[in-house]
């Protein structure tokens, strides 16, 4: 049985941290103001605008300490990762989840935060929130339906998303726990302590900036490791900024995926709004959803 952290109430505190890549503090001001407008207080971690001069928001030790402090703080009710990038996998084995297990709180983010989603689900069966991060609030993003889906998820409102059909869809209706996130991370976590079980689950995948041949390779890795064989359903999100080689690969991203999973008969939807772009609905990892891939529309609801 999945453990769902308490939903937020006015006055609750949201901590903001950078467990991976660096973020300029100016880039999160709109996010801070919006969270306060929603009725929450905000605690800023030391890694936001961290002193590191390289790619990361701080040394491994600094990022570990900052995230650990937020996990252990009784006054923090949710943790929003300001950005992804790379780096969470360097500290995941050193994080302590003893207090977090006693007092679960929502972990929010996507991209590299997939490491946290997968690790927490695989080891502790606690739900987390794959959702927009701080920069998505900028340029009036805080007004759009995707940021509002984060607000609704944090408040515990039941969600139903509906999207148009795609020509590659496989029709069907299933119920299962939601797992997944960034394709690269899901593939790289195979065989680690953060590896997820997918049998009977609804798997969602998205990515950004990958070469087409690498997307093909990662899907074959998931296939060979058994992660695609016995799904309840599959949700394919955005694969933005995909790159081709000088000698073309010869297929689009969705054609690559379609051909890899051709033999499976579970429902599949393509083009779901979960991505590195603005179109990024909040999804609760580990929570049960009903996926209906129909002739005229696709519906996903809790």
- Looking at the annotation, which residues are catalytic? 111, 206, 276
> Do residues 134 and 80 lie in contact, with contact meaning Cβ atoms separated by under 8 Å?
yes
Residue of 269, 258, 276 whose CA lies nearest to 299: 269
Residue of 17, 194, 7, 201 whose CA lies nearest to 104: 7
d(CA 71, CA 272): 31
The torsion defined by the Cα of 15, 16, 19 and 24, in degrees rounded to 10, comes to -160
> Do residues 242 and 253 lie in contact, with contact meaning Cβ atoms separated by under 8 Å?
yes
d(CA 265, CA 232): 10
Q: What is the DSSP string of 179-193?
A: EEEEHHHHHHTTTST
d(CA 1, CA 24): 39
d(CA 131, CA 153): 9
d(CA 140, CA 89): 32
Distances (CA, A) of 191 to 79, 195, 196, 223: 27, 6, 9, 14
- Collapsing DSSP to helix, strand or coil, 220 comes out as helix
**How is the beta sheet containing 76-81 ordered, strand by strand?**
41-44, 13-17, 76-81, 106-109, 128-130, 283-285
d(CA 38, CA 35): 5
């Amino acid at each position: 049985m999945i453990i769902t952290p308490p939903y937020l109430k006015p006055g609750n505190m949201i901590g903001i941290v950078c467990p991976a890549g660096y973020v300029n503090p100016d880039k999160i001001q709109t996010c801070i103001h919006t969270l306060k407008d929603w009725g929450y207080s905000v605690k800023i971690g030391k890694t936001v605008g961290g002193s590191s001069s390289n790619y990361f928001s701080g040394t491994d030790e600094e990022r570990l300490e900052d995230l650990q402090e937020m996990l252990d703080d009784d006054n923090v009710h949710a943790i929003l990762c300001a950005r992804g990038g790379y780096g969470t996998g360097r500290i995941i084995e050193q994080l302590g989840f003893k207090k977090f297990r006693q007092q679960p709180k929502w972990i929010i983010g996507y991209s590299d935060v997939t490491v946290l989603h997968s690790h927490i689900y695989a080891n502790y069966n606690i739900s987390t929130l794959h959702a927009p991060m701080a920069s998505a609030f900028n340029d009036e993003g805080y007004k759009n339906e995707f940021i509002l889906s984060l607000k609704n998820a944090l408040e515990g409102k039941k969600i139903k998303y509906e999207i148009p059909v795609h020509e590659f869809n496989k029709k069907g209706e299933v119920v299962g726990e939601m797992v997944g996130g960034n394709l690269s991370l899901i593939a790289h976590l195979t065989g680690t302590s953060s590896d997820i079980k997918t049998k009977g689950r609804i798997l969602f995948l998205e990515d950004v900036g990958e070469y087409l041949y690498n997307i093909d390779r990662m899907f074959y890795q998931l296939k060979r490791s058994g992660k695609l064989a016995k799904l309840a359903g599959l949700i394919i999100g955005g694969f933005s900024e995909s790159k081709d080689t000088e000698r073309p690969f010869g297929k689009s991203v969705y054609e690559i995926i379609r051909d890899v999973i051709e033999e499976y008969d579970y429902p599949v939807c393509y083009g779901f709004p979960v991505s590195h772009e603005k179109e990024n609905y909040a999804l609760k990892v580990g929570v049960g959803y009903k996926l209906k891939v129909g002739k005229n529309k696709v519906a996903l609801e809790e």
